[in-house]
Amino acid sequence: MTGFLWHELFMKHLAGYTHVESPQRVEAILKRIRKSPVAASLRFIEAEPAKIEWIERVHDPEYVKAILTLEIDDAVVLDWGDTVATKATPAAALHAAGAGVQAVRLVLGGKISSAFCCVRPPGHHAERNRAMGFCIFNNIAVAAAHLVEAEGLRRVAIVDWDVHHGNGTEHMFIDDDRVLYISLHQYPHYPGTGSAETTGSGRGQGYTINLPMGAGAGDREYLAAFRDRIIPALDEFKPEFILISAGFDAHEDDPLSGTILTTSAYRTMTVLLKVSAEKHCKGRIVSFLEGGYDIQALAESVEEHVTALAT
C-alpha cells in the first residue's frame, strides 16, 4: 500500500496571505485524491514533526533555531519577498521535514510500499543557512540524510523534475558519493543554477547530473532524458532507495514555467522510476511535493503520479 502523508498545518502556512504557493494547492490535491479511485489503494497518514537533530544534519543549527523561534504577527519576509512566513509556518515546516523521515522509515519497515508526501512549504531550494524560493527546510534532503546517516544506506538517488533547479539539494550533497542527485529543469531559469557542467566535487564528483531543458521542452524531451540519461545512471548507481522531488510546475498550464509537459507525462515518469526502484531497491520510493502553481493541473498531475505509485 502507498502512503499519503499530509497534515492540516500544510493548509495553514500562508493562510490569509496572497501568494502563488498557496494553501489551495494542498486543498485541491486532497479533494481530487479523495474522489479518485486511487484513494482505495492509499493509506492516509498524518505527518509527524521532525526532530531537530534530523533537520540539523543538513541545516545550520542557528538557522533552524531562527525559523522555529520566529515571532510573527501577520507575515515575515524571509527571502527577497518570495519566501514568506505566517503564524503557522514554523510548525508546518517542522512537519513537512518530518513527513519525509516518517515515510522512509515506514517504507524501510515494510509498513507501506511507497509514499507521497503532500507537504508545504516545499523544500528543494532551501540552502543550509537560508530560506529561498518558497522553501524553508529542505524536506527531501532531510530524508536523504536520514537514510545515509541513521539507516546506514550507501546509495540514495534523488530525482528532481521540478521545473526549477533544486539548488539547495544539490549543494547539500555536492561532495557526497552516497547521494546521486539528478535534476531536470528549465534552464536558464530561476534560480540560475543547474548547468550541465556542474557534476559534483571531491568524492561526490560524478554524482550530480544536471539535465537542463529549454523553454518549449515537453514530453518528448523529458522522456528522452529518462531513457538516455536517467535510467542508465540509476542502473549504474544501483540505488538502495529512490526519492523524488515531485514538482508539477513543468506542466504546460503552469504560470511559472516555459516547459510544456502534459499531465500524463507525470504518470509515465513515475512508472519509469517505479520500475527502476523495483529493479534495484525492492520498490522503495518516496516522493515529495515541490512546485506546481496551476491548481487544476497540479491536482490532476498529482493524481496521475500517485496512481502510478500505488498501481
Q: Report pLDDT for 86.
A: 96
CB 7 within 8 A of CB 280: no
| The pairing of beta strand 285-289 with beta strand 241-246 | parallel
Catalytic residues: 125
Written as nine digits, the cell of 249 is 510546475
Per-residue pLDDT tens listing for the chain (311 residues)? 999 999 999 999 998 899 999 999 999 999 999 999 999 999 999 999 999 999 999 999 999 999 999 999 999 999 987 999 999 999 999 999 999 999 999 999 999 999 999 999 999 999 999 999 999 999 999 999 999 999 999 999 999 999 999 999 999 999 999 999 999 999 999 999 999 999 999 999 999 999 999 999 999 999 999 999 999 999 999 999 999 999 999 999 999 999 999 999 999 999 999 999 999 999 999 999 999 999 999 999 999 999 999 99
Query: Which cell is 85 given?
Result: 512566513
CA dist 156 and 146 (Å) reads 10
Is residue 268 a contact partner of residue 184, using CB atoms and an 8 Å limit? no
Between CA 251 and CA 262, with CA 257 as vertex, the angle to 5 degrees is 15
Sheet holding 241-246, edge to edge: 42-46, 2-6, 114-117, 285-289, 241-246, 156-160, 179-186, 208-213
Asked if 201 contacts 246 with a C-beta cutoff of 8 angstroms, the reply is: no
Name the H helices within the chain: 24-35, 52-55, 61-68, 89-108, 139-149, 167-172, 219-225, 231-237, 263-280, 295-310
Query: How many helices and strands in the chain, by DSSP H and E?
Result: 10, 10
What residue ranges define each of the domains in the chain, with the CATH number in brackets?
2-310 (3.40.800.20)
Give the chain's length.
311
302 vs 150: CA distance, rounded Å: 30
